[in-house]
Chain A
Amino acid sequence: MDTLNFIIKNYTNVLFLTWEHIFMVSISLIIATAIGVPLGIVITKNENLAKKVINGANIIMTVPSIALFGLMMPVLALIGHGLGKVPAIIALILYSQLPIIRNTYVAIKNVSPSMRNAGRGMGMNRWQLLKEVEIPIAIPVIVAGLRTAAVMNIGIAAIAAYVGAGGLGVYIQNGIDRVYPEMILAGALLVSIFAILVDAGMALLERALTPTGILIQKRLSE
């Protein structure tokens, strides 16, 4: 109840921090998608490269976020962005790479060779095959990767408050510093609600982007 009161009393600030959180997560997700999906597709043509790229993304994923911020700080300080939103967004982009690349890679790889044979045999070029066949078939799994990345990033963005990135993590951080339970809970509650909403939203997006024929195929094969 006190937590709710806290939120109502500070609603302008709540809105601002929520906006900051949304901003960081969406900007990083957009950039991460722009990098990860094409990369995931490109590496399907080269097993060796694929192993390296996915291993690389795996290693990034295992670095704890606080440590990653610490590692980036001296480098980014050189361009005057050791603290703030820039290190946060870069970190989120890096963390998103594994689910996005891996899902894209696996989804495209799993398109049955007979589709590829048929498409190529009928005179589709590489790009047409990708656009007309491979991506539409792979899209549910690719979007599932984005969903994982988005939800994960909402959590990591909360930690980014420690490098001065703003967002709802600010309540958690300040609340701990000031031993102010309502503030901590407000931050935690809002982050959680945000994550749940985004998860649900991405689930809807996944469904909306899946071609009807694929939905029917799934339903009938169950």
Chain B
Amino acid sequence: MITYDHVTKIFGEGQDTVTALEDVTFTIEKGEIVIFLGPSGCGKTTTLRLTNRLESITRGTIEVNGKNIMDMDTVQLRRQMGYVIQDIGLFPNKTIADNVAVVPKLLGWPKNKIQDRIDELLTMVRLDPEIYRNRYPAELSGGQQQRVGVARGLAADPEILLMDEPFGAIDPINREEIQDEFLKVQEKLKKTIAFVSHDIHEAIKMGDKIALFENGRLVQYERPEILLTQPKNKYVSDFVGADRALKVLGIIKVGEVFNPEPQNVVQGFEPAQTVLNIMDQKKEKFYVVVDQDKPVGYVTKKMIKYEKGPVSAVAEKFPVHLRKRTPTRDALSYMLMHDFQTLCVVDEKNSFQGTVTYDDIQLKIRESYAGEEDQ
């Protein structure tokens, strides 16, 4: 846990002072990723550098796990926090392996433990250890170097990570992959992470919470979906962009909106004519057909009108199935693309979990915006 309490940072003295940070108060909970977001020069890097005492605080206090950082030994403080700097800063005289090994060596880890750790981390950032271990930074592209920088920050398995635009130099395709990989790892490791970004998309994707800065002030500190749906002022809504409704759809997962017990489901062995009767009674036009727990398709009244056998004989396959972690944005786009109002949700064994309809999604969006309409 990191607590910022009325933190102010003023650079310089006398006439030409710059107030980089002004009276900033917020808390990063243990195990959460908090994104420091805002345009260039708004104080993100400064906040990070105050946290590991690379800069001194002008006013206010920062506590790490309840302890004032000014009462801690700087070197000890820094070694318990991984640090990934904005301009990468790999040591050109050291091999990739030795770059990653810096903090473990400082901490006096045994050699074989360090070797194993290097390979594990390089694999995690998608650099084959066999190929890259003994290379030098100059032989790597900017994006690859940045991945080594991330590996280096994680090396000693610190409880806290300070990351300054850690994926900025990586090309978009690899960036998505590294972000996904990083989130997967984070799900397991549950580190406390302060993560600087100027990219709203990255912030929404990576952040448990977003701290949005403007000129050294913390404007809004919220979960991404709240920032998007209930922006505090015009600065926030401008920053998150006109397409914020779409971005919300990117955050909200199918798992949050789906219906686990839909009424319009039948077993595949039911006779088609029985189903037709039920559909007439319930005035339903669309039925999902499930066979032994697996969704086999759907039927409409037209399809089963003349069928004598079981309903599974005429069921049409769904073009696609959703998972609970699918963003509702993707679900919606499948619905539009294939002209469906209902899709099935399955688990990893392809077992039927429920359905999502266009209305389910719309309802959820309306709920999210409810707060804004109150204002």
User: Does B94 lie at the interface of the complex (its beta carbon under 8 Å from any beta carbon of A)?
Assistant: yes
User: Does A193 lie at the interface of the complex (its beta carbon under 8 Å from any beta carbon of B)?
Assistant: no
User: Does A117 lie at the interface of the complex (its beta carbon under 8 Å from any beta carbon of B)?
Assistant: yes
Question: Which of B89, B136, B149 contacts A217, CB < 8 Å?
Answer: B136
Of A47-55, A62-70, A119-127, which binds chain B?
A: A119-127
User: CA–CA, A220 to B152, complex, Å?
Assistant: 24
B85 engages A118 (CB within 8 Å): yes
Q: Which of B75-107 contact A (CB under 8 A)?
A: 75-79, 83, 85, 87-95, 102-103, 106
Within the complex, the shortest CB–CB distance from B6 to chain A, in Å, comes to 24
A118 engages B89 (CB within 8 Å): yes
User: Does A78 lie at the interface of the complex (its beta carbon under 8 Å from any beta carbon of B)?
Assistant: no
Q: Look across to chain B and name the residue whose beta carbon is closest to the beta carbon of A115.
A: B89
Within the complex, the shortest CB–CB distance from A111 to chain B, in Å, comes to 10
B83 engages A115 (CB within 8 Å): no
> A122, A133, A211: which has the most chain B beta carbons within 10 Å?
A122
User: CA–CA, A62 to B343, complex, Å?
Assistant: 87
Q: Which of A74-120 contact B (CB under 8 A)?
A: 112, 114-115, 117-120
Question: Which B residues lie within 8 Å of A122 (CB)?
Answer: 78-79, 83, 102-103, 106, 152
User: Does A175 lie at the interface of the complex (its beta carbon under 8 Å from any beta carbon of B)?
Assistant: no
Q: Look across to chain B and name the residue whose beta carbon is closest to the beta carbon of A121.
A: B83
User: DSSP majority for the A interface?
Assistant: helix
User: CA–CA, A121 to B88, complex, Å?
Assistant: 12
Q: Look across to chain B and name the residue whose beta carbon is closest to the beta carbon of A211.
A: B93
Q: Which of B339-369 contact A (CB under 8 A)?
A: none
B52 engages A137 (CB within 8 Å): no
A117 engages B85 (CB within 8 Å): yes
Question: Which A residues lie within 8 Å of B79 (CB)?
Answer: 122-123
Question: Which A residues lie within 8 Å of B138 (CB)?
Answer: 213, 216-217, 220-221
A117 engages B54 (CB within 8 Å): yes
Question: Which A residues lie within 8 Å of B87 (CB)?
Answer: 114
User: CA–CA, A115 to B76, complex, Å?
Assistant: 19
B52 engages A121 (CB within 8 Å): yes
A213 engages B75 (CB within 8 Å): no
Question: Which of A114, A117, A121, A133 contacts B93, CB < 8 Å?
Answer: A133
User: CA–CA, A214 to B89, complex, Å?
Assistant: 14
B75 engages A123 (CB within 8 Å): yes
User: Does B280 lie at the interface of the complex (its beta carbon under 8 Å from any beta carbon of A)?
Assistant: no
B54 engages A121 (CB within 8 Å): yes
User: Does A128 lie at the interface of the complex (its beta carbon under 8 Å from any beta carbon of B)?
Assistant: yes
User: CA–CA, A123 to B102, complex, Å?
Assistant: 10
Within the complex, the shortest CB–CB distance from A221 to chain B, in Å, comes to 7
Question: Which B residues lie within 8 Å of A133 (CB)?
Answer: 91, 93
Q: Look across to chain B and name the residue whose beta carbon is closest to the beta carbon of A128.
A: B106
User: Does B224 lie at the interface of the complex (its beta carbon under 8 Å from any beta carbon of A)?
Assistant: no
User: CA–CA, A119 to B98, complex, Å?
Assistant: 13
A-B contact pairs, 10 of them (CB 8 A): A114-B87, A118-B85, A118-B89, A118-B91, A119-B91, A119-B102, A122-B102, A136-B91, A213-B136, A220-B139
B contact residues vs A (CB 8 Å cutoff): 49, 52, 54, 74-79, 83, 85, 87-95, 102-103, 106, 136-139, 149, 152, 162
